[in-house]
Chain A
Amino acid sequence: MKAGRGVVLVLALALAATPLHAADSVFEHPATPAALAQQLGAATRSLQGAQTLRGGYVQRKTLQGVPKPLEAEGTFLFARGIGIAWRTIRPFESELVITPTDIIQRENGRVTLHLAAARQPSVRVVSDIFAAVFALDFEQLAARFELFSRGVKGGWELGLRPRAGAGGALKQIVVGGQSQVQRVRVSDSNGDETDIRLRDTRLSAHAPGADDLKVFQP
C-alpha cells in the first residue's frame, strides 16, 4: 500500500509539474485559426488593417560547426496582396523581392536570380514564412502549418510547424510580438537557427505609392 501511495504521489507530482515544463515551449499549446484570431485579434488589430509595413531588421544565423554567428542587416517593405521586398545592406547589398508568383534577386540593379513559383515549390515556403511574419492570416497559415500559441510576458508567441510533406530543411518557426511582430526564429532540421529581429516598424493604412510598387516589377 505504501509503495502504491508513493507511485500515486510521484504521478501527481509529475502531472502537477507538466504545465510548468510546458511553459518552456510554444509547441506544447496547439491552437486553431479561430482561437488565434480571438486571442491575438485585439493585440494585432492595427496590423490587420495595415496596407504596408516597413522597417529595419537584423538577422543572426547560427550554423552548426561554425563558432561565430553570421550577421546581416537591412530593411524591408511589405505591401499587402503584392509582396515583400527584403533589402540586405550589410555585409553586402542585395535585394530579394517575393511575390506570390516570382522570386527575384537583384544585386547592383542586376537580376541574379529569377524563380517562378510554378517551377520551384520552395518559393511558396519562403513566401509563406513572410506571410506568417507580416499578414498573420491564420486561415492561410493553417493550410500549411500546424499552429501553436501561448502568451508570454508582455506579448504572445505563435508556433508554426510544417505539415507532413512540406519537407525541406525547415523544422519550425516561432513568431513573437506585441502589437506587431518583433521577432522570428526559424529552426532548420539540422539545428541551424536563423533569428530575425524587426525594428522601427511603421504601419500605414494607405496603399503603397508608385515608388514602392516599382521594386515589385520583375
Chain B
Amino acid sequence: MADLRRRFWLWLGAVAALGLAYGFGVHGKMQVETDLLAMLPRVERDALVEEAVRALSQATGRRTLFLVGARDDALARRAAEDLAAALSRAQAFERVTLHVDVDAGALDALYGAHRDALLSDTHRQWLAAGAAARLGDEALRALYTPSGWLRARPFADDPLNLYGDFLAQQLPLAGTLQLQGDVLVAPSPDGPYLLVAAETGDNPFSLQANTRLDSVIAAAIAETQQRNPGAEVLCSGVVRHAAAASAQGQAELATFGSVSLVAIVLLVVLTFRALRPLLLTLVSLGVGTLAALTACHFLFERVHLLTLVFGSSLTGVGVDYSIHYFADQFRYRDTWNPRDTLHHVGPAILVGMLATAAGYLALLLLPFPGLRQMAVFSIIGIVGACATVLLAYPAFANRTPAAHRPAALEFTERLSKLPWERAMPAMLRGHGPLPLLVLLAGIGALGAWQVNFVDDVRALQSTPDWLKKQDARIRELLGGGQDTRFFLVEGASAEAALQAEEQLRDGLNALVERGALAGYQAVSRALPSLQRQQQNHAWLAAQVYAPGGTLARTLAGAGYSAGEIARRRAAFATTPPLLDPARWLASPASAPLRGLWLEAVSAPLGRGYATVVSLSGVRDLPALQALDAQLPAAQFVDRVARISEVLQRFRHLAAAGLAAAFVLIAAALMARYGPAVGLRLMIAPVGGAALTLATLALLAIPANLFNILALLLVLGMGVDYAVFMREGRSARATVIMAILLAGLMTLLSFGLLALSATPFIRSLGLTVVLGVSFTFVLALLSSGGDNPGPR
C-alpha cells in the first residue's frame, strides 16, 4: 500500500505542476500557427535562398488583392470606392490602396537630376545598335500625329522622349492591368475590374490575426455588394487561405475530438458498466492532452493547427492503457484487485506504450518541423495518459471486479473457439513461419513497386474549391499573377549585384519578346548599375547630343532656332551625378520594388548583396533554367520543385528506416522468444505493412512520404498486438477483447483523420486504419496456436 501511495503522490505532484505550468504559462498565451511553410523542412541547401523565400513569403502573406467588377465603369468605380472605404474603416489593414499614386513628383525628385544617365531598355537597344536616328523619327511623328499623346512629358521638355520612356518603364504594371486615371483596371468581356490592394502589418498566419482579418474582409465585401447591386468582388490573398485552413482545422478538431470522446464514453460505459472507469479514463486522456499542449507550447514558439488536428488521434491511442488496465478484472474474476493489476498488465502496458512511442519517435528523426511537433505532441500525450494509468489508477480504481460479463468478452470467447482459429497455426507448425513471412514480404515488395508514389507539395495543401475557383478567376483576369518561382541574384557589392541583374535582364527581355515569359520585376530596371548609367551617358553624348547629332537635327526639323538648340545641347551634363542605391532606397518612388532588395537578408549571412527578380506568366521553364546555368551570379529558385524533391528524399529515408525497424524488431523478438516464435510474432507486423501497401496499389491510391511514416506508426502499435497475445495466452479471450476494443478506438480516431481535408493527414489516417486492421487480424490468426485451451 505504501508503494501505491507513493505512486499516487508522485502522480499528483506531477499533475499539479503540469496544471500550474498550463494555467500560468500556456492558457491564453498559446500561439496557434496556420502557415504551412512553418511546418515544412528547410528544403534549400543554401541559407540565403531559404531566407529569401521566407522574406518573400512574408511580404506576399501581408498582401490581399481585391478585384471589383461591374458591367459599367461607374458602378465598378463606386463599388471599389465603397470597398476601399469599408476596409479602411475597419482599421485592420495598415494600408488600403485603390488610387494608385503614380507620384510624378516623387519620380521626378528621384530621377530628375540623373536623367542624362538614364535610358529605357528599348532606347538602349537602339543606341547600342547605333540607331539614334530612330529617336528623331519618332519625335517628329509625335508632333504631327496623335502618337504625341502617348508620351509622359511634353515635347519641349523631352523632345526625344528619352526621359519619358524611362519613366514609363517604372510603372508598376503587370499582366493585363492598365492604369485608367488613377486606378488600376483589369479589362474583361464582362466589364472592367478595378484593383484594390490591402496590406497588413501583422503576421497573417497567426490564428487570431487571420480570423479577424477574414471577418473584416467578408464584412467589407458583403457591404460593398449590398450597396452596389450588380457589382462583383473577388478576393485573393494568403489571409484568405490561412483563414480557410484555420476554419477547416478548427472544425475538424472539434468534430474529431467530440466524436472520439462520445465513442470512448460509450465504449467504457458499455464494457465496464461503472462510472469510475469512465472518469479515470477521461482523467488520463485529459492529463495526456494537457501535458502534450504544455510541452509543445514550451518547446515550439508556435503550435501548428495541424498538430492539434493530428493530436486528436491521441484519444484513440491513449485510451488503450485504460482499457488494458480495466479489462484485467475479467481475467482473474475471483482474486482481482487494483494493485495486482499492475503486476499483470503493468509491464505489457509499459512495453506497448514504448513501442508506440518508438513509432512516433521515427517522425522526430526527419528534419521536418511539422512532423516533429506531431511526434512530440503524441509522445508526451501517451506518456501522460500511460503514467496516469500506472500511477493513479491503483489508488482510485474499483476495489472489486465487476459482476457482469461484457458482451465484447462473450464475442471474443466465441471467436477463439472458431475452427479457423487453428488453421494458420497448424500450417505454421508444418512449414515454420518463414515461407509465410517471405510470401508476405513479397506481397509488400510487389505493392511498394506498384504503388503510385506522388511526391508533390499538393500533398501538404488543402484549399477549398470556392477559393481555388476565385484564385483561378483572378489569375485569369490579371493575365497570370506572380509566379512562385524567381531568380536570386548575388553580388559582393551592390554594384556587382545590379550588374549581374542587368545581365539576367538582357536574357529575360529576350524571353518576354518571344512570349516565353509574360513579365518580370527587377530592381535594376529602376536603379541601373553605375556602369550602365555611365554607358548610357557616353552613348547619349556620342550619338544624341554631339554637334549635328540626333537632337540638333530633330529640333531643327521642328522649327527651333539655332540658339534654342545650342541652349539645349549645353544643358546636357558632361558628368551627370549617378543614381546610387542609397538614394533610390530612400525615395518614396522605390516603394513598389524595395521588397526585391534583400540586403537585410544577405548581409547578416555574410553574403554581400542580393536581389530577387520576380517572374510572372512563365511559359518556358527550360529557357529560364538555361539562364540559371549561363549566369553564375543568378540562380533560379523553384520552391515547389524543391519541396517535391525533399519529400521524395524523405520518403526514401523513411522506407529505409521502416525496413531497418522490421529487422531490429525481428531481432529483438527472436532474442526474447527464440527464433521460431520470434519470427511467428513478426507475421502480423510484416503482413500489416505488406497488405496495406498492396491495398494502396490495388485501389490506385497515390502514396507519399506520409503513408510510409504511417506504416512506422502501425509497426509501433502493431508489434504489441502480437506481444500481448503471446504474453496473455493464458487468458486469450480477455486479451483479445482488450486489444479489440483498443484497436477499435485506434481505428476510429485515425479513421476520422482519414476524413480530414488536409491531404497528408488523410494519408496518415487511411494508412493507419488499413495497417492496424490487417495487423490485428493477422495477429489473431497467427497466434491461435498459443491458446493452451481445449486441445
- Contacting residue for B147 out of A105, A117, A118, A166, CB 8 A: A105
Which residues of the partner chain B approach A64 to less than 8 Å between Cβ atoms?
156
A143-B180, A168-B151 are contacts. A92–B144 as well, Cβ < 8 Å? yes
The stretch from B72-80, B226-234, B571-579, B729-737 touching chain A is B72-80
CB distance from B788 to the nearest CB of A (A): 84
| Contact B154–A189 (Cβ < 8 Å) | yes
- Distance between Cα atoms of A139 and B558 in the complex (Å): 38
Contact flags (1/0) for A160-191 with B, using CB distance below 8 Å? Answer: 00111111111000000000000000101110
Contact A165 B102 (CB under 8 A): yes
| Shortest distance from the beta carbon of B191 to any chain A beta carbon, whole Å | 12
Within 8 A of B (CB), among A176-218: 186, 188-190, 192, 194
Nearest-Cβ distance from residue B220 to partner chain A, whole angstroms: 22
Q: Which of B534-560 contact A (CB under 8 A)?
A: 558-560
Q: CB-CB < 8 A to B156: which residues of A?
A: 63-65, 190, 192
- Cβ-defined contact, A120 with B150, below 8 A: yes
Distance in Å: Cβ of A97 to nearest Cβ of chain B: 11
A186 to B149, CA, bound (A): 10
Checking B153, B173, B182, B564 against A119 with a beta-carbon cut-off of 8 angstroms, the contacting residue is B173
Contact A169 B153 (CB under 8 A): yes
- Nearest Cβ distance between residue A141 and chain B, in whole angstroms? 10
Q: A68-B559, A143-B74, A163-B181 are in contact. Are A129 and B146 (CB under 8 A)?
A: yes
Q: Beta-carbon contacts of B171-214 to A below 8 Å, as 1s and 0s? A: 10101111111100001000000000000000000000000000
Interface flag for B104 (CB, 8 Å): yes
- Nearest CB on A from B586, distance (A): 23
CA distance A188 to B187 in the complex (A): 28
> Does B145 contact A72, Cβ atoms closer than 8 Å?
yes
**Is there an interface contact between A65 and B560, defined as CB atoms closer than 8 Å?**
yes
User: Which interface residue of A70, A144, A165 has the most chain B CB atoms within 10 A?
Assistant: A165
Cα of A67 to Cα of B563 in the assembled complex, Å: 13
What CA separation (Å) do A105 and B560 show in the bound complex? 26
Complex partner residue of B150 from A72, A115, A139, CB under 8 angstroms: A115
Q: Does A23 contact B (CB under 8 A)?
A: no
**A143 vs B179: C-alpha distance when bound (angstroms):** 12
**Is A80 at the interface (CB under 8 A from chain B)?**
no
Cβ-neighbour of B181 out of A88, A113, A165 (below 8 A): A165
The 8 Å CB contact of A163, one of B173, B182, B559, is B182
Do A70 and B147 form a contact, CB below 8 Å, given A120-B168, A169-B152, A188-B154?
no
- Determine the interface band of chain A, counting residues with CB < 8 A from chain B: 35 or more
How far, in whole Å, are A115 and B182 apart by their CA atoms in the complex? 20
Query: Are A192 and B181 neighbours in the complex by a CB distance under 8 Å?
Result: no
A129–B148 CA distance with the chains assembled, in angstroms: 12
Cα A188 to Cα B153 with chains together (Å): 9
Residues of A within 8 A of B151 (CB): 122, 168-169
Judge whether B652 is part of the interface by a CB distance below 8 angstroms: no
Q: Which of B74, B137, B173 contacts A121 (CB 8 A)?
A: B173
A interface secondary structure, majority: mixed
Query: How far apart are A106's CB and chain B's nearest CB, in angstroms?
Result: 11
Question: Is B143 on the interface with A (CB-CB < 8 A)?
Answer: yes
B180 contacts A121, C-beta separation under 8 Å: yes
Residues of B within 8 A of A70 (CB): 143-144, 558-559
- Once the chains bind, are A143 and B181 in contact (CB under 8 Å)? yes
Most buried by B among A113, A167, A170: A167
A96–B149 Cα gap in the complex (Å)?
12
**Residue A36 lies at the interface, judged by CB distance under 8 Å to chain B:** no
A129 near B173: Cβ-Cβ < 8 Å: no
Instruction: Knowing A117-B178, A165-B99 are in contact, say whether A130-B559 is a contact too (CB < 8 A).
Output: no
A37 at interface by CB-CB < 8 Å: no
B145 pairs with A94, CB closer than 8 A: yes
Could you say which residues of chain A place their CB within 8 Å of the CB of B175? 118
CA distance A123 to B176 in the complex (A): 13
How long is the Cα–Cα vector from A5 to B147 in the complex, in angstroms?
A: 57
Are the C-beta atoms of A86 and B146 separated by less than 8 Å? Answer: yes
Does A123 lie within 8 Å of B182, measured CB to CB?
no
**What B residues does A86 contact at CB under 8 A?**
145-146
Take A70-B143, A115-B150, A170-B149 as given contacts and tell me if A121 and B564 are in contact as well, using a CB distance cutoff of 8 Å.
no
Most central of A88, A94, A118, A130 by chain B CB within 10 Å: A118
Q: Are B150 and A190 in contact (CB under 8 A)?
A: no
- Is A96 within 8 A of B77, CB to CB? no
Does A100 make an interface contact (CB < 8 A)?
Answer: yes
B157 at the interface (CB under 8 A from A): yes
Is residue A142 within 8 Å, beta carbon to beta carbon, of the partner chain? yes
Residues of A within 8 A of B138 (CB): 113
- With a cutoff of 8 Å between Cβ atoms, the chain A residues found around residue B145 in the complex are 72, 86, 88, 94, 96, 105
Q: When the two chains form their complex, are residues B150 and A123 in contact, meaning their CB atoms are under 8 A apart?
A: yes
Across the interface, name the chain B residue whose C-beta is closest to A88. Answer: B145
In the assembled complex, A103 has its CB within 8 A of some CB on chain B: yes
Q: Is B369 an interface residue (CB 8 A)?
A: no
From B73, B148, B150, name the one whose CB has the most chain A CB atoms within 10 angstroms. Answer: B150
Across the interface, A168 reaches (CB within 8 A) one of B137, B144, B146, B152, namely B152
Report yes or no: B182 in contact with A122, Cβ–Cβ below 8 A: no
Interface residues in B638-656 (C-beta closer than 8 Å to A): none
C-alpha spacing A125/B180, complex, angstroms: 8
Chain B residue contacts of A140, Cβ below 8 A: 73
How far does the Cβ of B767 sit from chain A's closest Cβ, in whole Å? 49
CB distance from A83 to the nearest CB of B (A): 13
A143 to B157, CA, bound (A): 28
Residues 76-101 of A, flagged 1 when their CB comes within 8 A of B and 0 if not, give 00000000001010011010101010
Q: A65-B156, A100-B187 are in contact. List 7 more A-B contacts (CB 8 A).
A: A33-B74, A63-B558, A70-B143, A121-B179, A125-B150, A169-B154, A192-B156
Instruction: Give residues in A with beta carbon < 8 Å to B.
Output: 33, 59, 61, 63-68, 70, 72, 86, 88, 91-92, 94, 96, 98, 100, 103, 105, 112-113, 115, 117-126, 129-130, 139-140, 142-144, 162-170, 186, 188-190, 192, 194
29 CB-based A-B contacts, threshold 8 Å: A61-B143, A61-B148, A63-B156, A63-B558, A63-B559, A64-B156, A66-B559, A70-B144, A86-B145, A94-B141, A96-B146, A98-B146, A105-B145, A112-B137, A118-B175, A118-B176, A118-B178, A126-B147, A126-B150, A139-B73, A140-B73, A144-B181, A169-B149, A169-B151, A170-B149, A188-B154, A188-B155, A189-B154, A192-B154
Nearest 3 Cβ contacts at the A-B interface: A165-B182, A121-B179, A72-B144
